[in-house]
Amino acid sequence: MTFITEIKTFAALGSGVIGSGWVARALAHGLDVVAWDPAPGAEAALRKRVANAWGALEKQGLAPGASPQRLRFVSTIEECVKDADFIQESAPERLELKLELHSKISAAAKPDALIGSSTSGLLPSEFYEGSTHPERCVVGHPFNPVYLLPLVEVVGGQRTAPAAIQAAIQVYESLGMRPLHVRKEVPGFIADRLLEALWREALHLVNDGVATTGEIDDAIRFGAGLRWSFMGTFLTYTLAGGDAGMRHFMAQFGPALQLPWTYLPAPELTDKLIDDVVEGTAEQLGSHSISALERYRDDCLLAVLEAVKTTKAKHGMHFHD
């Protein structure tokens, strides 16, 4: 079984934060993009988000012919997918909604067009249950902002063909991404399991009055956050074990895991906790608008990506190593 991997037309269903990020990435790679979203005013909101991202994409370098004008917004699912070579769904994270949407998408799509879902952690075997040609259906879980962050987790369901996983990896690579094949279909995949643990503990720290949202963000951005862009937890902790490496690290810090410092269940989302988090982050936002902070974030990310790429090259490594 073969799937389309040379893509000219990219279909995006759902054009919120993540869908618009996919649209911007695909446009920047010189593709024609067709988008659909049922919300009133969705087309204007999408074009505004793409415009806000375009400056960063220009700085990063556009493919020949890349233009926001190659985006066409349509009014039906069928029109969106019928001529598409690759389809990416970024609809709200609700199982029933995705189940129904994918039965319509897959029925109208070319049979050999791959279908990816941006879900953050739902299981593909479940929401592709009613899909036509389920062997071409995968999860392609991206990270915000999708147009700059390279990681995409690729996950197959019980009926996904291994060849479709490889084909999807090829397509995401052609969009400049760094696919990571999640070999076992588990809720939350790999990255969101880790991010959820951090998020849960951050909420506990606010709930227990230990720290404000700003202080917790400081604890990340001036410490581990800086090193995470080029070295993950396992290699970082190997170095933290000194010359004796990971075995010494495990012997020294392993017992603390039995205390443990962290809680497993999430805190109850009481009105007070929600207010504390919303008020804390409003203070952090200050007078900046979300789009201004998105441009600031994008500039920082471009600088970090460039620094990591240049430094890796000096050490004989490729960016995707």
Ligand X SMILES: NC(=O)C1=CN([C@@H]2O[C@H](COP(=O)(O)OP(=O)(O)OC[C@H]3O[C@@H](n4cnc5c(N)ncnc54)[C@H](O)[C@@H]3O)[C@@H](O)[C@H]2O)C=CC1
CB nearer ligand L46V6VHR, residue 233 or residue 310: 233
CA-nearest of 160, 153, 149 to 179 is: 153
H/E element, 245: helix 245-253
Instruction: Name the one residue in this structure whose structure tokens are 């392993």.
Output: 254
Phi, psi of 214 (to 5 degrees): -65, -40
CA-nearest of 104, 194, 142 to 19 is: 142
Q: Which of 7, 12, 13, 27 binds ligand X (CB under 6 A)?
A: 13
> Is 280 one of the binding residues for ligand X (CB under 6 A)?
no
> Is 11 one of the binding residues for ligand X (CB under 6 A)?
no
Task: Say which entry of ligand X, ligand L46V6VHR, none residue 192 contacts (CB below 5 to 8 A, set by partner kind).
Answer: ligand L46V6VHR
Min dist CB 14 to ligand X, Å, is: 3
Phi, psi of 95 (to 5 degrees): -55, -50
Min dist CB 175 to ligand L46V6VHR, Å, is: 16
Nearest-angstrom CA–CA distance, 189 and 39 = 29
CB nearer ligand L46V6VHR, residue 95 or residue 313: 95
Task: Say which entry of ligand X, ligand L46V6VHR, none residue 88 contacts (CB below 5 to 8 A, set by partner kind).
Answer: none
CB nearer ligand L46V6VHR, residue 197 or residue 211: 197
Min dist CB 209 to ligand X, Å, is: 27
* Angle between helix 245-253 and 233-240 (nearest 10): 90
Q: Collect all residues with Cβ–Cβ distance below 8 Å to 123 and sequence separation of at least 6.
A: 157, 185, 187
The residues binding ligand L46V6VHR (CB under 6 A) are: 120, 143-144, 192, 195
Task: Say which entry of ligand L46V6VHR, ligand X, none residue 119 contacts (CB below 5 to 8 A, set by partner kind).
Answer: ligand X
277 is in an annotated binding site: no
14 is in an annotated binding site: yes
Which of the residues 82 through 121 are near ligand X (CB under 6 A)? 90-93, 97, 101, 118-120
Task: Say which entry of ligand L46V6VHR, ligand X, none residue 150 contacts (CB below 5 to 8 A, set by partner kind).
Answer: none
CB atoms < 10 A from the CB of 63, how many? 13
18 is in an annotated binding site: yes
CA dihedral angle for residue 273, residue 276, residue 279, residue 282, rounded to 10 degrees: -80
CB atoms < 10 A from the CB of 141, how many? 25
CB contact at 8 A, 201 and 210: no
Min dist CB 102 to ligand X, Å, is: 10
Instruction: Name the one residue in this structure whose structure tokens are 């080029």.
Output: 230
Positions touching ligand X (CB under 6 A) are 13-19, 37-39, 42, 90-93, 97, 101, 118-120, 141-142, 144
